[in-house]
Amino acid sequence: MFSKLKQCTRSVLLAASLAVTGSSLAELPQPQYEDYTWEKEIFVPMRDGTQLSTDVLLPKGAKGKLPTVLVRTPYHKDNTHWAYFGDWDKLFLQQGYAVVIQSERGRQFSEGYFEDYLEGAAHDGYDTLEWISEQPWSNGKVGTFGCSSSGEQQWAMANTKHPAHAAMLPLASGTAIGDIPGNDTQGAIYRGGIPQMGLWAWWYNDMATSERLLLPPDTTQAQRVRLRNSFTLQPMTRFYQMNGRSIDTSAKTEQHDELVKTLPSMNVIRSGGGALTPFDKYITWTPGDKRWDGINQARVGHSQKTPALHLNTWHDVGAGEMSRMFKYLQDQKTPDQYLILGSGPHCDLLEESHLANLEFGDLNLGDARYMGRDNGYAELFLNWFDGKLKGKKDKLKKMPKVQLHVMNQGWITGDQWPLENTQFTKYYLNSSGKAGYRLADGALTTQKPSQVSGKDNYIYDPSYPVPTRGGGCCSSAMAVDQRDIEARADVLTYTTPVLEKGVTVAGPIEVVLYVSSDAKDTDFNVKLVDVYPDGKAINLSDDGFRVRYREGFDKKVLMNEGEVYEIKLTNMVTANYFKAGHRIRLQVTSSNFPSYERNLNTGGNNYDESEWVVAENAVHHGEQYPSHVVLPLIEKLNLASNKQ
């Protein structure tokens, strides 16, 4: 039935798996199959007649009906790096799984149009599960797999409750999480009402345009295979993520710098001459816009029952959303849900070969392998699918529901999020008014400040914003030394004394600030930072808040000059061991550009403005205005063993 487009010997398969799963396969079962067949460009019909480009890979020589691993992706299926599944398909094929890889509606050779984020994820996902179930090689059980967009697809699909959807592995999929309780980011589009411009202008322009080239109608499968071997329909790269420091000094990076500075911000993509994208309309919406309800994100009422491993890494842009989705489902008593948060950048846990000595940006964490062993994630994934899709003994039945890799410390476990023994502790901001002058006297202390009131002022000029250093998505340099940022007069820093003993912080973080401005509206941005004995300052998490939304994201309430307002920033999450000799620091400023859109301070729409106002902003503290950060401290650690 299937043309033998690709065969691999056992040695090649093992080498491919080694590149992904570590230095040893000792903990993995021996391969059952040595090679496989790969049929490309099958057109699978959806309920509205749209046909989606689909590949089917089968282990050569397999008898009987097989369980299936399904990957749906907006990216080129032959570019496994951007498709975020790498060579994991080979590992599943070795163990007797069929693998189906499908291009989403409106992407690559699939028909239809990509008019909105997660276009067709629910009904197309359901129809694809139905198609797989009807194939002669299928045992009727499907596990969905993938990172980033291939993970995000799975949430809408799970909400359709197709009986074949037996298990899911939605890695780094937080941007699919909408308005569930405690989450107000519309899938990480916003932080405190501030558009995440750097990420989404890049992603939509370079990955997911609405306008696109189309195949001729009525192409044959053979024609599509030939065309795919010769062409890609991926848009040209125009934007370069600037999460950390710039490494590429080429003309393309300079072009990126100019593009993201474009005003009004609604024209950022248009200024580069790119095709139309959904971002062009999203940048003009507000976080409370009812049109978000029509996007295929997980929302209130989402009642999926598919067993899921919620997997992410701390420096990923959607780590907070992922943890909140887990909590939402756990509060609903949804069975078979597990939260696993490791260390590293976006989708980094798929690159197991370098987790034994994990280094990204300016942070070196040493051993960050899952439970400290080679092939940890590979073993986990196989055990998960074997139990749910093959009916084998459930080796994960007694696994803790929550597993966290604490940076600089190791794995800890529990059965709920936040962990049961978390001590939420307030650290108060304090200074003599000089927290913005080269780290002069901004303090973080668990003792309430004794003075009635105090404040730190700084000038925020939208034409000279604080540049992004670390965080965001999807650079490998997401943990970056902050010292050049902290030397600016418009960045306030509040720091604990040198720690006499280590402190473990693991969980969600809330920042409460009392702020004022002489502008009608402005932003406040924060970062949690680990300060090393030599002064190196590594960002752990960041957040922001647009003050107009202090009374709700469905309304705009402007500021009165000099009046003090309380704002709450609730999106940060991390797990880090602050070693003895280190210090804990909170940065406060009013921009983090281009990761966060600049506020022009006028009180207008912002997205359609080209003129700005320079603002004098202030953070207040003391008994009257107790600005503080709430850190989740873990004193009694439940350290994990290296056995599941």
Out of 316, 362, 523, 530, pick the active-site residue.
316
Catalytic annotation on 148?
A: yes
Catalytic annotation on 453?
A: no
Dist. CA 523–CA 499, nearest whole Å = 31
Measured CA angle at 317 (ends 315, 323), to 5 deg? 85
* SS3 assignment, position 426: strand
Dist. CA 571–CA 115, nearest whole Å = 28
Q: Which amino acid is at 454?
A: G
Q: Give the tokens for residue 153.
A: 């697809």
Name, in order, each residue with C-beta under 8 angstroms of 297's C-beta and a sequence gap of 6 or more.
Answer: 117, 118, 155, 156, 176, 177, 178, 179, 186, 187
Dist. CA 634–CA 409, nearest whole Å = 12
Q: Give the tokens for residue 274.
A: 């790119």
Name, in order, each residue with C-beta under 8 angstroms of 337's C-beta and a sequence gap of 6 or more.
Answer: 307, 308, 310, 326, 329, 330, 401
DSSP state of 446: S
Element at 383 (helix H, strand E): helix 376-389
Omega before 594 within 30 of 0, i.e. cis? yes
Where do the H-state alpha helices sit in 71-187? 80-83, 88-94, 121-133, 149-159
Q: Which amino acid is at 295?
A: I
* SS3 assignment, position 228: helix
Dist. CA 404–CA 396, nearest whole Å = 16
Dist. CA 279–CA 116, nearest whole Å = 9
Dist. CA 288–CA 311, nearest whole Å = 28
Helix orientation angle between 376-389 and 10-21, rounded to the nearest 10 degrees: 110
Dist. CA 532–CA 466, nearest whole Å = 22
Dist. CA 365–CA 326, nearest whole Å = 26
Dist. CA 270–CA 242, nearest whole Å = 19
Out of 76, 302, 310, 346, pick the active-site residue.
346
Q: Give the tokens for residue 527.
A: 């970062």
Name, in order, each residue with C-beta under 8 angstroms of 493's C-beta and a sequence gap of 6 or more.
Answer: 435, 436, 439, 442, 486, 585, 586, 587, 588
Omega before 347 within 30 of 0, i.e. cis? no
**Cβ–Cβ < 8 Å for 500, 580:** yes
Catalytic annotation on 316?
A: yes
DSSP state of 355: G
Out of 103, 148, 323, 516, pick the active-site residue.
148
Element at 223 (helix H, strand E): helix 221-230
Closest CA to 537 of 489, 503, 493, 507: 493
Straight-line distance from the first to the last Cα atom of the chain, in angstroms, rounded to the nearest whole number: 40
Phi (first) and psi of residue 13, to 5 degrees: -60, -45
Catalytic positions are 148, 316, 346
